[in-house]
Structure 1
Amino acid sequence: MEPRQASPLTLAILLSLAAAVSLGITRFAYGLLLPPMRADLGWTYTLAGSMNTANAFGYFVGALCTPALMRRWDAARVLLVGASLASFFMGASGFFTDSTMLLTQRALAGAASALVFVSGGVLAAKLAVRASSAGQTQQSGLVLGIYYGGSGFGILLSALVVPVLLAGAAPGERWHGYAPWAWAWWVLAILCALATLALVRPVSALRSLVAQGSTVARHGRGFRYRDLTFGLAGYGCFGVGYIGYMTFVIALLREQGASTVAVTVFYSLLGVACMASSRIWAGLLDRHRSGRALATLNALLAAACVLPALSSEWPVLLLSGVVFGGVFLSVVASTTALVRHNLAPVDWPEGIAAFTTVFAAGQIVGPVVVGWIVDAFASSSPTLSASADHAAALSRGLVFSAIALALGALLASRQRALSAAM
């Protein structure tokens, strides 16, 4: 079937490759690379967390710039340029060992991924409208969920590639002069590049569809932060909380002695749960114009995040990963649904960018705070083995993440639907 003639759900599946690049690989694959990079480069957990803080700072800047870029270019062009840049910066990360250069590469990759994620979210929202106008109202939330669930596909690819590639690598080992983790960056960059190529045709079709619908709802009252204050605050707390888990949970498993197979299973199941979440939560996103969906999902994430701090038993850890994976990207989808339900289409880019900006601001805080907690607790517990110290400290870092998510649920629960649809 030609992409131009495909159904909204088919186009959403193809578009979800953008989310796989922008979050699933560019953002979350770093969690798999953190343990070998930290061991090889002698990093503290604070510095390791700062790598994702730099990525989040770049994401923050990119989110601020995206609306202006989409006024100059269309969303489809912004998406393809961003995906190409993200692929390049992912590959560049494999060539450096200096922490300053790696921080810079992570920031640049974050900025590029924001261009992809925000522009892709706008296209997904327009697809959801197309589904509604075609009499498929029940599918509009599913369209959004499928797009954001594409991050799960990126997570799954990373889980199947990175641990296997790094398995058996000895400390300090070099392959043709480069550390094994550098080769992992290059493989991930290739995956991003292939996904970008696969996006060209469906994104071109989406450009045509958006142009066809450009006469609808050209005027709105404009996006105002005060209209969605509690939703934005709840989403900012989500950014603080979820990224601590995604940055450090693999490090926790490694400190607890998890094998390569165990890490692969855990991260793969998390990714599969992400992909399944689009179907699970579609109805919730369609039903509520208020912040109820965001609040509910934040609360579930808080519970999943605290489980590793309560028990190190493998079934509990797997439950944590599956629940977390099955929920966290639907939180992202819930904010796009909130924008779509309450703002005119002309205001969607500013609304989605605003949520992406507070999300990025939260992610700047989360990794470095959790890393600092881990280092501080581990250094104050000299009676345990190094692995036990770090595992206990990482667990406490996740408690901080759970508290942030619980606060996000409370704030989002106070967000009311706007008095009239725009």
Structure 2
Amino acid sequence: MDTRVTLPPPPPPAADSESLLPLAMALSLGAAVSLGITRFAYGLLLPPMRDDLGWSFTLAGGMNTANALGYLLGALATPLLLRFLSPARLMLVGSALATLFMLASGFFVDALPLLLQRLLAGVASAFVFITGGLLAARLGARDARRSGLLLGLYYGGTGLGIVASALLVPPVLQAASGVPHGWAWAWWMLAGLCLLATVGLVWPARVLGRHAPPPAPPASGAVPRVFRWRDFRPALLGYGCFGIGYIGYMTFVIALLREQGRTPLTITVFYALLGLAVMASSRLWAGLLDRHRDGQPLARLNALLGLACVLPALTSSVPLALVSGLLFGGVFLSVVASTTALVRHNLPPAQWAAGISAFTTVFAAGQIVGPTVVGFIADGPGGLALGLGVSAVVLWAGAVLALRQRAW
């Protein structure tokens, strides 16, 4: 009879949370590409392009609607592509494609090809954002105590893209002011930023691609929990309202400030402060994301975001506009992080990709509606101020819906 005792393997060493911070910060370049540059830098280019090409606000908003439609298509395709590609590889492919499509946007002046470029850039940015969020969730799983911070650092990378755009786009536009369609140079500069970020993503993609965690085995006799849309319906609806409401602000707030007579310096300061607030938000809301397993974080952050949207619609005060930008920047990417945290808290790792993809899908669907609706309202007698007011109401409705989400 074999009397040997088989000892269990030693537990893995605890994750060094400090060593994970550089990975999270490098990974945040994916958020900088997918949202900070590919999505939001268009708000700085909208006024000169609209003036040069004679666009209505509806068509100008339609450009970001096309981008959001592409984002939705990319979100739907990502789970299928992840059957053949690792998240790290798909993130790099998406970032490279986003660079090419941003570059191409500087070569066209007709609306149709520009709409197509915005759509394709949206597809690529969805690949980057979803896979980057999945890799960030894996990082958070390696240090549960600081998972909210690690997730926030990833999403806060959007602020880096916003700050870079705020500091670089206006000087490029100014330098090219005497050149026909000078705004094209800003597109090419933004493509260069995307290329640099893509190179920076190679390191975290290699590290996290090598250390993908195996699916955790279910407890004896337990049925593995799977993602079901109905279980997360209140949060999904609230997040859809977030997609509708926030994108109207990010698409048109610069145009509103220009209508109110703000100087280029004021607009640059406003947009840079917004981006810096995004970068700081990872620490502001990390505790909230770690404490709650239900829809409380999503509800509270949506409510604050509605307040940020309504301020510039109610007053042309420069100090209140800056407060609006700081509040908006300090909140809106944490709304995205809150849904990733909700998925991570309530689902096993093997289901994270399905959960994150579902939330990204409703996020993208909301963004399809938001820019065109706000642009259509802005073309009417209420102008951009009424459009941003409607965005605020939608965000508050999303807060009410999210309150009904319970933990599973």
Range of TM-score over shorter length: over 0.9
| Cross-structure match for 1:167 | 174
The offset of 1:306, in angstroms, is: 0.4
Tell me the residue number matched to 1:113.
Answer: 125
Provide the rounded CA distance (Å) in 1 between the counterparts of 2:148 and 2:239: 18
Question: Residue 340 of structure 1 is aligned with which of 338, 344, 350?
Answer: 344
Matches within 5 A, 1:29-108: 29-108=41-120
CA contact (8 A) 2:306 2:391 kept: yes
Secondary structure, aligned partner of 1:7: helix
Number of the residue aligned with 1:412: 402
Q: Name which of structure 1's ranges 275-284 and 214-223 shifts more when overlaid on structure 2.
A: 214-223
SS of alignment partner, residue 72 of structure 1: coil
Could you say which residue in structure 2 is the equivalent of 1:307? 311
3-state secondary structure, aligned to 1:28: coil
Aligned length: 389
Contact 2:215 2:349 in 1 (8 A): no
How many angstroms apart in 2 are the aligned matches of 1:106 and 1:51? 6
Residues 214-271 of structure 1: CA distance to partner in whole angstroms, max 9, x if unpaired? Answer: 2534883321100100000000000000000000000011111112111110000000
Partner amino acid, structure 2, of 1:145? G
Task: Supply the distance in 2 between the matched residues of 1:300 and 1:168 (Cα, whole angstroms).
Answer: 37
Larger radius of gyration: 2
Q: How much has 1:167 moved relative to structure 2? A: 2.4
Give the Cα–Cα distance (whole angstroms) in 2 for the partners of residues 69 and 206 of structure 1: 18
Q: Which residue of structure 2 lines up, in the alignment, with residue 291 of structure 1?
A: 295
The residue that corresponds to 1:152 in the other structure is 159
* Equivalent residue in structure 2 for 1:22, among 2, 23, 34: 34
TM-score by length of 1: 0.90
| Partner of residue 329 from structure 1, selected from 326, 333, 353 | 333
Unmatched tracts of structure 1, length 5 or more: 378-391
Q: Can you list the C-alpha shifts for 1:11-62, whole angstroms capped at 9, x where unaligned? A: 1011000000000000000000000000000000000000000000000000
1:305-329 Cα distance to aligned partner (Å, 9 max, x none): 0001111010010000000000000
Give the letter aligned to residue 72 of structure 1.
F
* TM-score (norm: length of structure 2): 0.93
Match of 2:362 in 1: 358
Asked whether 1:371 is paired with 2:375, we answer yes
| 3-state DSSP of counterpart to 1:346 | helix
The Cα of 1:169 is off from its aligned counterpart by 5.3
2:249 alignment partner in structure 1? 245
User: Paired residue for 2:11?
Assistant: none
Structure 1 counterpart SS, 2:262: coil
Give 1:417's aligned amino acid.
A
State the distance in 2 between where 1:7 and 1:68 align: 32
Q: 1:176-203 deviations in whole A, cap 9, x for unaligned?
A: xx52110000000000011001111221
Number of the residue aligned with 2:214: 214
SS at match of 1:414: coil
- The 2-side partners of 1:217 and 1:205 are apart by 24
The structural deviation recorded for 1:68 is: 1.1
- What residue in structure 1 maps to residue 271 of structure 2? 267
